[in-house]
Structure 1
Amino acid sequence: MYKGLLYFLLIFTSGMSSLDAAAIYKWVDANGKVHYSDTPSASNATETIDEQHLNSRASTYSQTQEKLLSTGNPSTYRKQQKIVMYTTSSCGYCAKARAYFAEKSIIYKEKNIETSKKYHSEFKALGGKGVPVILWGKNKMNGFSIAAFEKRYKESS
């Protein structure tokens, strides 16, 4: 019995360390757009970002992004609200939402619940059961589809 418990703890703690080892990558595409991802770019020079540094900041919105929000850049929605998206690394719908946000120049803050205990706790407090959970203003969207997001987001702007 003791030996079985020891094996369980060994396997459990080794699995937990893989969550802490997740990396964040940053690269700039040919159009000058900055991308952040959990996988490095195959075609562009990629920089590894220290997640602890990211978590120590109050917000992941840069001054440039905040300026875009306040000036109403034509490449973004008329009145863009700050968006928060709770994700996991392997979620296909999360990847679809990321790609859509990038295509539409929608600024958002991603909170990966696999790599952060704080984000996981926030996700659970929201009643989250599946990802993505997308929040903006007083709106909450579970899952992602382009049509549903566009309808709800434009109605709330």
Structure 2
Amino acid sequence: MTSHAIKFAAVGALLALAAGTFSSLAQAQPIYRIVGPDGKVTFSDKPPPATSNATVTAAGADGARGIATASLPFELRKVAGQYPVTLYSGENCGPCASARSLLITRGVPFTEKTISTNEDSQALQRISGDNSLPFLTIGSQQLKGFSDAEWTQFLDAAGYPKSSVLPASYRQAPATPLVTVAPTPATTTAARPATPAAPSTPVTPPPSNPAGIRF
């Protein structure tokens, strides 16, 4: 077998393995940020029981929820629904910019989550196992670090078109933080009922001629 045939067979095996991975793995589960009554913050893929009195915020979920797919061509809408793409990026990250450019140029609808706070980093650690960026998920498939060739192979295996078929009206959704921390409700002072004013004692005007003097 020639070296060219061996290389072709290896690539084919990789794509077949990727396709099998896509078909066998379930959709990515949400990651919950849980603040307990004592203020301790934890991350879990399962929400706490309703009786725990904990504050829960969804830290991350499958990317299909962040993509408006109604206007997409049928085949692309089908692929995006089955294998949603989510890009995790950071500020001043050159590889993140290259990753974003690849997805936009190819016409892949995706959700972008930014990592900029400690809460974001903790949630990313829970999802991917480390904090390296960029990080990409295609369905449940995880790709750490940007590689044009590798990402292209996995997008091919998932069934995304090799060139953009997005309608001219399509607009990529803006990036949002991975963790949206619910604001703490401001403590409001209960309005005190107004104290009714004491009724005023009517003042009887003095008689104009108190002594009853006549002239």
Normalised TM-score (structure 1): 0.51
Structure 2 residue ranges without an equivalent (≥5): 1-63, 160-215
Determine the C-alpha separation between the residues in 1 that align with 2:101 and 2:85.
14
CA RMSD across the alignment = 2.8
Deviation at 1:70, TM superposition (A): 6.3
Question: Which residue does 1:26 correspond to in 2?
Answer: none
Q: Please say if 1:146 is aligned against 2:148.
A: yes
Deviations 1:92-147 (A, max 9, x none): 11100111111111111111111583x32321102123101101112100011211
Determine the C-alpha separation between the residues in 1 that align with 2:141 and 2:73.
20
Deviation at 1:60, TM superposition (A): 3.1
Question: Which residue does 1:106 correspond to in 2?
Answer: 108
* Higher RCO (CA-CA < 8 Å; seq separation 6+): 2
Which has a greater percent of helix?
1
Residue 137 of structure 1 aligns to which amino acid in structure 2? G
SS at match of 1:128: coil
Structure 1 residue ranges without an equivalent (≥5): 1-57
Residue 134 of structure 2 aligns to which amino acid in structure 1? P
Structure 1 or 2, whichever has the larger Rg, is 2
Question: Which residue does 1:120 correspond to in 2?
Answer: 121
The structure 1 segments of at least 4 consecutive aligned residues displaced by more than 3 Å after TM superposition are none
Determine the C-alpha separation between the residues in 1 that align with 2:74 and 2:66.
19
Question: Which residue does 1:136 correspond to in 2?
Answer: 138
Contact 1:69/1:79, CA 8 A, preserved across alignment: no
SS at match of 2:66: coil
SS at match of 1:114: coil
Question: Which residue does 1:82 correspond to in 2?
Answer: 84
Deviation at 1:85, TM superposition (A): 1.3
State, as a whole percentage, how many aligned pairs show the same letter.
Answer: 22
Determine the C-alpha separation between the residues in 2 that align with 1:134 and 1:95.
13
Q: Paired residues, what number?
A: 94
Normalised TM-score (structure 2): 0.38
SS at match of 1:100: helix
Deviation at 1:88, TM superposition (A): 0.4
Q: Please say if 1:72 is aligned against 2:75.
A: yes
Deviation at 1:84, TM superposition (A): 1.0
Deviation at 1:72, TM superposition (A): 2.2
